[in-house]
């Protein structure tokens, strides 16, 4: 089990426990539960990198314990 920190740099910061093998889509659901925003409106990415794709897992992006991800609003494009 890893604990991932999600931060939107606007005052919202949440720590979410997950498995590294979780898909991004599932992880987004858990983030949504924590931050109170619809899962499809959530866009996750490492700082300065491209947004994560739903089909891949956290492990694919090299997300390990204690990693911080940037949370942005996904407008769909």
Contact residues for other proteins, defined by CB under 8 A: 1, 3, 15-22, 26, 29-30, 33, 57, 59
Whose Cβ is closer to other proteins: residue 39's or residue 51's?
Answer: 39
Q: What DSSP string describes 8-54?
A: -SSS-EEEEEE-TTSBHHHHHHHHHHHHTS-GGGEEEE-TTSPBPPT
Whose Cβ is closer to other proteins: residue 1's or residue 10's?
Answer: 1
The least CB distance from residue 35 to other proteins, in Å, is 14
The least CB distance from residue 17 to other proteins, in Å, is 5
The least CB distance from residue 51 to other proteins, in Å, is 21
Whose Cβ is closer to other proteins: residue 3's or residue 50's?
Answer: 3
- In terms of C-beta distances under 8 Å and separation of at least 24 residues, what long-range contacts does 44-49 make, across chains too? 44/6, 44/69, 44/70, 44/71, 44/72, 45/69, 45/70, 45/72, 46/70
């Amino acid at each position: 089990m890893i604990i991932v920190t999600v931060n939107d740099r606007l005052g919202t910061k949440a720590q979410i426990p997950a498995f590294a093998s979780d898909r991004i889509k599932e992880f987004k659901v858990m983030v949504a539960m924590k931050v109170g925003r619809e899962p499809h409106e959530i866009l996750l990415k490492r700082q300065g990198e491209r947004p994560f794709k739903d089909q891949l897992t956290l492990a694919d992006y090299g997300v390990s314990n204690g990693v911080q991800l940037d949370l942005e609003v996904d407008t769909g494009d």
